[in-house]
Structure 1
Amino acid sequence: MDSFPIFVRLRAQPVILIGEGDTADAKRRLLERAGAMIVGEADQAARLAFVALDDPDDTAVRLKARGLLVNAADRPDLCDFTLPAIVDRDPVLIAIGTSGASAGLAAALRQRLEALLPPSLGALARLLHQSRESLRARYPDASARRRFIGGLLAAGAPLDPMIEHPDPAIPGEGAPDPARLERITLRSSDPDELTLRAARLLALADRIYHPSDAPPAILDRARADAVRIVGPAPALALPGLSVEIL
Structure 2
Amino acid sequence: MDQLPIFLTIKDRKCVIVGGGNIALRKAELLLLAGANLHVVATQVGEGLQKLCDDHAALVETKDYDASALKDAALVIAATDNQVLNRQVSLDAKELNIPVNVVDQPALCSFIMPAIVDRSPVIVAISSGGASPVLTRKIKELIETFLPERISALAKLLGSYRERVKNKLAKPADRARFWENILDSKVSELVYSSNDKAAAELIEQQLTDPNCSEAISGEVYLVGAGPGDPDLLTLRALRLMHKADVVLYDRLVSAEIMAKLRRDAQKIHVGKEQANHSVEQETINQMLVRFARDGKKVLRLKGGDPFIFGRGGEELETLTEAGVPFQIVPGITAASGCAAYAGIPLTHRDYAQSVRFVTGHTKEGAVALDWETLAKEQQTLVFYMGLSGLSEICKQLIDNGMEQSMPIALIQQGTTATQKVLVGDLSNMPMLAESKKVQAPTIIIVGRVVELQKKLSWFNV
One fold, TM greater than 0.5? Answer: yes
Ranges in structure 1 where 5+ consecutive residues have no aligned partner: 176-194, 198-246
Q: Residue 46 in 1 paired to residue 76 in 2?
A: no
Q: Select 2:138's aligned residue among 108, 112, 115.
A: 108
Question: Per-residue deviation at 1:43?
Answer: 4.1
Relative to structure 2, which stretch is displaced further, 40-49 or 55-64? 40-49
Deviation, 1:45, is: 0.9
Cα gap change, 1:95/1:196 in structure 2, threshold over 3 Å: closer, same or farther?
farther
Q: Structure 2 matches for 1:130-169, cutoff 5 A?
A: 130-154=160-184, 157-160=185-188, 164-166=192-194, 167=196, 168-169=199-200
Alignment of 1:40-119 (within 5 A): 40=41, 42-54=69-81, 55=83, 56-119=86-149
Q: Which moved more, 1:41-50 or 1:12-21?
A: 41-50
Quote the Cα distance in structure 1 between the aligned partners of 2:210 and 2:38.
51
Aligned residues of 1:153 and 1:161 also touching (Cα < 8 A): no
1:103 Cα offset (Å) = 1.4
Aligned residues: 176
Q: Which whole-Å CA distance do the structure 2 matches of 1:142 and 1:79 have between them?
A: 38
Q: Is the 8 A contact 1:117 1:162 kept in 2?
A: no
Taking the aligned partners of 2:181 and 2:131, their CA distance within structure 1 comes to 36
Q: 1:64 to 1:142 in 2, by over 3 A?
A: same
Structure 2 spans left out of the alignment, 5+ residues: 42-66, 212-261, 265-461
Normalised to the residue count of structure 2, the TM-score between the two structures is: 0.36
SS at match of 1:86: strand
Deviating 4+ runs (over 3 angstroms): 159-163
What is the letter of the counterpart of residue 15 of structure 1?
Answer: C
Q: Tell me the C-alpha RMSD between the 2 structures.
A: 2.4
Does the 8 Å contact 1:46/1:68 carry over to 2? yes
TM-score (norm 1): 0.65
Larger of the two Rg values belongs to structure: 2
Match of 2:27 in 1: 27
Residues 137 and 165 of structure 1, relative CA distance in 2, 3 Å threshold: farther
Cα deviation, 1:172-214, whole Å, max 9, x if unaligned, reads: 1537xxxxxxxxxxxxxxxxxxx999xxxxxxxxxxxxxxxxx
1:21-54: CA deviations, max 9, x gaps? Answer: 2211111111111111122452411031000122
* Bigger RCO of structures 1 and 2 (CA < 8 A, at least 6 apart): 1
CA deviation profile, 1:52-87 (whole Å, cap 9, x unmatched): 122021221122112211100000111100011111
Partner amino acid for 1:131?
Y
Secondary structure at 2:38 match in 1: strand
